[in-house]
Copies of this chain bind each other. A is one copy, B any other.
Amino acid sequence: MATRYAASLSFLLSQLGAHVAHRFGTELAETGMSPRGFGVLSNVIDLGPRTQQHLADELGIHRNNMVAVIDELERDGLVQRIRNTADRRSFLIQATPDGVRATSRAMNIVTALDAEIAGSIDGDSRETLDRILLELVKSAQLSPGVHPHLTSQRSPQS
Show the binding face of A for B, using Cβ within 8 Å: 1-26, 28-29, 34-36, 38-39, 42-43, 45-47, 106-107, 110-111, 113-114, 117-121, 125-126, 128-130, 132-140, 142-150, 153, 155-158
B-chain residues with CB within 8 Å of residue A111 when the two chains form the complex: 8
Q: In whole Å, how far is A98's beta carbon from the nearest beta carbon of chain B?
A: 18
How many copies of this protein are present in the complex?
Answer: 2
Contact B136 A121 (CB under 8 A): yes
The residue among A14, A136, A138, A143 with the most chain B CB atoms within 10 A of its own CB is: A14
Per a CB cutoff under 8 Å, which of B13, B45, B143, B148 touches A2? B143
Per a CB cutoff under 8 Å, which of B10, B22, B118 touches A117? B10
Q: In whole Å, how far is A156's beta carbon from the nearest beta carbon of chain B?
A: 3
Contacts A5-B39, A150-B158 known; 5 new A-B pairs at CB < 8 A: A4-B107, A5-B106, A21-B155, A120-B136, A149-B158
B-chain residues with CB within 8 Å of residue A150 when the two chains form the complex: 158
Contact B156 A35 (CB under 8 A): yes
